Amino acid sequence: MEAAEEFRASQADFEERYTTLAERDDLTEDQQQLLSEMTAEHEEAKSTGEEVITAMEAGDEERANQKMDELDSVYTELEEDTTAFEEDADAKMEASVASAATTTNNSHMMIIGLTIAAFVAAIVIGLFVAGRITTPIKQLSAASQAMSEGDLSAEVDDHLEDDELGRMSDSFQQMQANLRSVFDEIDTFSSNLATGDDALQTRDRRTDFPGTYGDIMTNLDNGATEMVGGFEEIRTASQNLKDGNLEKDIDTDRPGNYGEILIAFDDGMRALSGSFGEIATASEDLKNGHLDQNIDTNYPGRFGSVLSDLEDGVSQLNESVEQVQSIADDVAASSEDVASSSEEIEQASEQVAESVEEISHGADTQSENLQEVAGEMNEMSATVEEIASSAEEVTATASTAVERGETGREYASDATEEIQAIESQADEAAEQVQTLDEKMDQIGEVVEMITDIAEQTNMLALNASIEAARAGEAGEGFGVVANEIKSLAEEAAQATGEIEQRIEEVQATTADTVDGMQQMSERVQRGSETIEDAIEMFDEIADAVQEAESGIQEIGDATDDQAASSEEVVAMVDEVSSVSQQTAAEASNVSAATEEQTASLSEASENIQQLSGLAEELHDQVSDFDTGSGAGAAIDATTGSPTTADGGTPYLILRVGGQVAVERSENMGSRIGRDGTASASNTSPMPSAVKGEVSSISGSPPHVEEVRDTRSETTRGIDSLADRHVVWIDSETIPGDP
């Protein structure tokens, strides 16, 4: 302030003058006393004046006025002392040089008076100027303080004068208006940003501000545009996730972190889409029984590890099912062989029974004839020729009995060998069934591992749902995906549950098969023992018949002596009659034993048929799984007909109306595996000769005549198939036209 500077300048001038007076040595004691008082008063005036200046600068007019009053009082005292000092000086000067002293004192007093007047005038002018500039400066100061505290509502009055203070006030008001507009735009943007309002996308932000203000708002608008674009891409991707649409591309052409975030999000979406595609394909294949799968596990983190575990589990399940299918085929073939052998043994047993019946009938006839001979011998009314004729008939009958006995023994020996073969094959079948049960246990372990993977996937889905819930609305898409993962895990668990149920059914079937094999083995053992007893009886019959033949021969030789030895002849006839009765009794025992053996063989045959049915049922249960390891039908690229991997005819052939019922399918080529084999089951349409109900082959109603099985070179009627269900069987090449 100019008044303050003038006040301090006048104070400095007074001190300089005081120093000049104090250095003089011609001052009287009264003058020195006055000079000291003037000095004290000067210091008091100086201090009071500084307080006035401070109060004026602070805008405290009341205090400034109070100090001005005090300053006036001090100046009054100072003026009185000055006057007294002048009077004393004048008196002294009058005593020395009246005229010179008067002139000097007057001049001196004039100078002092002018100095004091100038000092007072300066103070008055300073107070006036301070009053003019204090109010605007106070307003500017208050507004600046409010702006520093974030309050832009403080008002500044207009300054009418076109001076520095007016220009400063106008500039401050313009700056305040620009700041208000900029901060209003920033406040609106930050509010929309905090609430996620759609106005972020639609509202136009002002950028027409001068200088740095415009640059700031332009950068803010550009950043908001990029951010809104990035958020829009994320919102679209999240909606696609929510709708289960993982194939949409994300526009990642954004600067800086916006682009990096979108690129990372797009990479995650692609990995998620790919892994879900692999899991969905694997689950669908498992549901349809397709086990020959190649799962792409080249995905980061948990995606790859889960897919690797799933691929390992499906691979182990595939290997186990292949072994089960092979064992089931072997059991079916062995069952058919055993059934064929059982039929042959049953036929041999029936022939043995017929021979025994003939022997028993011959023995009865022989007994009746011998009784007649005894009667005739008692009467002695028969001639020697009649006795000779009867003897020849008895001899022929005995020879027939011997031959029939030898034949029966041979049949019994053959039956023993066949029963031993049945017993050996039954043991092999039991071992294969036991091996099958062990393989089913291994499949159960693989199924448990798949169940664990499903539970782990379910847990990952739960964690993803939790993270999606934490992410709020932005995580809704991930929540839907987590639910889809959970649904897929539940479907996989359900599929493994169905597999476990099938395994339990197969294990129950194999247990029944083992029991049936054991019962059949026991009955075959009893049949073997019965046949051995029959052989012993045949030996006894043969010995008895040979003895009868010898007796009859003696009767023929003794015909010439009959007249002389009638009593001896009667005795021999009685002996022959007794032997015949014994023969008939033994033949009856053999017949009963043969019938028991036949019944045992029939029961064994029924058990074998049951085993064959169980084997076919087992084959049907595992045939739904496509392992891709067989040599099934392919499609000849030239003829379009089904062929095997080496170009042969399919293994299982259906004949309908004398024609081979192998239908052509345009989609067959899509089921050719990487190893050249055909899949046993597929969701695509396939020939009815591959898999399907017989009724779907041709005709209305269809007539299926036979099914040819070239592995065992047998032809079976369609009614002999379990549930009239035709299943494709992988096999070797069939030479020629079937």
Distance CA 191, CA 499 (A): 58
Among 3-12, 129-138, 664-673, 712-721, whose mean pLDDT is lowest?
664-673
Q: Which helix (H) or strand (E) holds 625?
A: none
Which letter does DSSP use for residue 254 in this model? -
Contact status, residue 604 vs residue 523, Cβ threshold 8 Å = yes
- pLDDT band at residue 78, thresholds of 50, 70 and 90? confident
pTM, full prediction = 0.33
Contact status, residue 276 vs residue 484, Cβ threshold 8 Å = yes
Which letter does DSSP use for residue 559 in this model? S
- pLDDT digits 0-9 by tens, 317-329: 777 777 776 776 7
**In whole angstroms, what separates CA 56 from the centre of its chain?**
83
For the chain, the straight-line distance linking the first and the last C-alpha, in angstroms and rounded, comes to 126
Among 332-336, 391-395, 397-401, 660-664, whose mean pLDDT is lowest?
660-664
Tell me what pLDDT residue 295 has: 75
Among 42-51, 120-129, 169-178, whose mean pLDDT is lowest?
120-129
Contact status, residue 14 vs residue 115, Cβ threshold 8 Å = yes
- Express as a percent the part of the chain with pLDDT over 70: 30
Contact status, residue 717 vs residue 657, Cβ threshold 8 Å = no
Q: From residue 686, how far is each of 221, 363, 574, 696 by CA, in Å?
A: 63, 67, 81, 11
What's the one-letter identity of residue 612? Answer: S
User: Could you tell me the sign of the dihedral formed by the alpha carbons of 698, 704, 709, 713, in that order?
Assistant: negative
The phi, psi pair for 727, rounded to 5°, reads -125, 135
The DSSP bridge partners found for residue 652 are 709
Helix axes 211-242, 256-287, angle to 10 degrees: 0
Average pLDDT over residues 582-602: 63
- pLDDT band at residue 312, thresholds of 50, 70 and 90? confident
Radius of gyration of the chain (CA): 65
- pLDDT digits 0-9 by tens, 647-679: 433 334 443 333 334 333 333 322 323 233 333
Which letter does DSSP use for residue 159 in this model? P
User: Could you tell me the sign of the dihedral formed by the alpha carbons of 495, 498, 502, 504, in that order?
Assistant: positive
- pLDDT band at residue 207, thresholds of 50, 70 and 90? low
Give the DSSP letter string of 184-230. HHHHHHHHHHHHT-THHHHPPPP---SHHHHHHHHHHHHHHHHHHHH
Identify the residue whose tokens are 């006035």.
52
- Residues near 685 by beta carbon (within 8 Å), at least 6 away in sequence: 665, 667
Average pLDDT over residues 280-305: 70
Contact status, residue 699 vs residue 649, Cβ threshold 8 Å = no
Residue among 720, 620, 704 at smallest CA distance from 336: 720
